[in-house]
Amino acid sequence: MRRSQEVMIAILSCLGFLGSALSQVSTATFYGIATDSTGAVVPGAAVTMTNSQTGATYRKVTDNTGEFVVDFLPTGTYNLRIEAQGFKANETKGITLTAGQQARQTYALDVGSINETVSVAGTAPLLNAVSAEQQQSIDSTEVGQLPLQRRNFRIFFPWAQV
């Protein structure tokens, strides 16, 4: 009887770990709103996000409310360009996105020729205004510094026999 309880606990523990492992994400989502200098929305603006490291490009168009969503973005640093007829192109460089991040930003387009560009470099850190969740990314160096005794998985499952 005791042995069957130990096996059941081990199975339930593994299922718990499996559930949390499946909920991990490695991509980010970027939400944006394109407005003019008066705050009115700009529908139909072309939005281009380019990964600085890989050169991968993601293109979207703002909807009737001036909003756009670029989802499933691999982590990294991005350059954003927004172009609309009758407005200067808006270019923002150095947008850093981490795993699981959901960032929202509003961009004001200036009236002018599309050939003119307004460049913004060095923006403030992006805040998650989409949800109330909190997150922290941990790199492999920090994981390697965790204080585990001899990295032996059996300390977590002392009843397991290998």
pLDDT at residue 26, rounded to an integer:
86
pLDDT at residue 57, rounded to an integer:
96
| Fold category of 27-128 in CATH | Immunoglobulin-like (2.60.40)
Whether the per-residue pLDDT at 118 is higher than 80: the answer is no
Using alpha carbons only, how large is the chain's radius of gyration in Å?
23
Which of 20-24, 32-36, 57-61, 71-75 shows the lowest per-residue confidence on average (mean pLDDT)? 20-24
How many Cβ atoms sit within 10 Å of the Cβ of residue 65? 10
pLDDT at residue 140, rounded to an integer:
74
How many Cβ atoms sit within 10 Å of the Cβ of residue 28? 23
Q: Global pTM?
A: 0.64
**Domain range summary for the chain, segments of one domain joined by +:** 27-128
Whether the per-residue pLDDT at 124 is higher than 60: the answer is no
Whether the per-residue pLDDT at 63 is higher than 80: the answer is yes
pLDDT at residue 78, rounded to an integer:
95
Which of 17-31, 74-88, 101-115 shows the lowest per-residue confidence on average (mean pLDDT)? 17-31
